[in-house]
Structure 1
């Protein structure tokens, strides 16, 4: 599980251009933000995405509760969530939803976080584009996230590290 900030500040990617011709990329910079919360199962490729206007403890708790409901976490179905050590990754006083257990990665170790590799996939839909409003960004991003949720093989290719512990059948 991880979060990613997206906004009106453009994401630029290299593109091909004819030799000798200048390349221009229109931008509409702004300081409005949207946050993508993503969960991915590296082995199965299952993924869930939420687009949220803030990143804080309350949003984290709400998304974690929604995730627990979506995957059916409970007394009979335990789910291990790997997350970074962000300061807002704090469960409410009564703990995480039943069936959810978290493992926090060491500080400054994004290379260990499978969900960190999802951002290259989500950003494809908005890279090198200028948006007039955060709502336009949200629409483009939501379409991409819905598409990604239906691409388990692609998610596995990007998140299943060679050292990831696989479930025994």
Structure 2
């Protein structure tokens, strides 16, 4: 996500540790990254982010925040608004839950001003303007 413009990129995956490399490759393809198009991705130090098994595609450079510093990660402010449609709800199946979450992500993607207002507490240079 880009706090400055409120742009988001969402992927819903069935697990995290083995799927993080897939997410990086999807992001690289989505943004058209490669050796001549570098991109810095700032991450926390979750085990699946720092694993030696992570395959980082060309063009993406991972920069890790200090340990135990969620206040430095603007994306942390999005979990409450992402989860609010799921809280206190009963879903008959996992597919129903995923459908609700996908719809929420689509809705949030259109709410760039709201995303920016929650996450832009310091300025970042991110995402080329013509990317999304």
TM range (shorter): 0.7 to 0.9
Give the conservation status (yes or no) of the 8 Å contact 2:38–2:59.
yes
Q: Which range moved further: 95-104 or 135-144?
A: 95-104
Could you say which structure has the larger radius of gyration? Answer: 1
CA deviation after TM superposition for structure 1 residue 154, in Å: 1.4
Q: TM-score scaled by structure 1?
A: 0.68
Show the counterpart of 2:123: 164
Q: Let me know the Cα RMSD of the aligned residues.
A: 1.9
Show the counterpart of 2:45: 85
CA deviation after TM superposition for structure 1 residue 115, in Å: 0.8
Give unmatched runs, 5+ long, in structure 2: 127-132
Q: Which has the higher contact order (CA 8 A, sep 6+)?
A: 2
Q: TM-score scaled by structure 2?
A: 0.85
Show the counterpart of 2:130: none
The structure that is helix-richer by fraction is: 2
Give unmatched runs, 5+ long, in structure 1: 1-39
Q: For 1:108 and 1:94, locate their aligned partners in 2 and report how far apart those are by CA, in whole Å.
A: 21
Give the conservation status (yes or no) of the 8 Å contact 1:61–1:92.
no
Are 2:22 and 1:62 equivalent residues in the alignment?
yes
